[in-house]
Amino acid sequence: MERIRILLVDDDCQNSELLKKFLEVEGYEMEYAENGRAGWEMYASSRPDLVLLDINMPLMNGFELARRIREQDRDVLIFFLTDRTEKADRLKGFDLKGNDYIPKPFYPEELIAKIRERFEHRQSSLPTRITIGRTIFDRNLSTIEIDGVQRHLSVRQSEILTILVQNINKTVERETILQSVWGNNSYANSLALNVQITYLRKLLGADTTISIVSLKKRGYILEVNNG
């Protein structure tokens, strides 16, 4: 299989070098840029599969770099790695169509798990953009578009919707979703699933051709009526 190419853009050279070596040990092909402008030039020449972006950088900050990248490429994954953890910053990151927002400090193993998860989803037979009823679901950007209006999904919501879409008009067991999305079926995760399903129903509410039906103590069905 072709190696996954990752571009790391961060002005913290010392920590970035350690992270770069860690990712290389895991088998990823790495490139590093120490500021946003260098990152933009390197992105244009290397066309990576994933860009890891700090936000506070000289010459060009991470938000501006993400904006430029997204204008050129809808498919490349963008993870923000930053100590800017305010709600407004996180929302801006996702508004710029970032795929994940990971606060510093983080464990490298956590980042590896998120990278593996994303690329496992990419390698599935499901296309990146899927039409369900009147809804266009973009798995890579974690967005849905209904009648021209785009809404952003959280990572969890996108993962849940992906599982339901893979089984349209079929029952998906709660256990299947909990294990796939959270890794276990603890009581707390079960409550979290209920909350995410409620949010998904609200987000999809404008499309009357689809609905998420609950089967008590069993699971869910994504029902689609194109008639």
129-224 classified as CATH 1.10.10.10: yes
Count of CB atoms within 10 A of residue 58's CB?
11
Note whether 5-122 and 129-224 share their fold.
no
Verdict on whether the full-model pTM lies above 0.95: no
pLDDT of residue 72: 85
Q: Residue-wise pLDDT tens for the chain (227 aa)?
A: 457 889 999 999 999 999 999 999 888 889 999 999 999 999 988 889 899 999 988 888 999 999 999 988 887 899 999 888 788 888 888 888 888 888 888 888 889 888 887 777 555 556 788 999 999 999 888 899 999 999 999 888 998 999 999 888 889 999 889 988 887 888 888 999 999 999 999 999 999 999 999 998 789 999 998 65
Among the four given CATH numbers 1.25.40.10, 3.30.70.1150, 2.40.50.100, 3.40.50.2300, the one describing domain 5-122: 3.40.50.2300
Domain boundaries in the chain?
5-122, 129-224
The CA distance from 166 to 130, in Å, is 10
- The reported pLDDT for the residue numbered 98 is 87
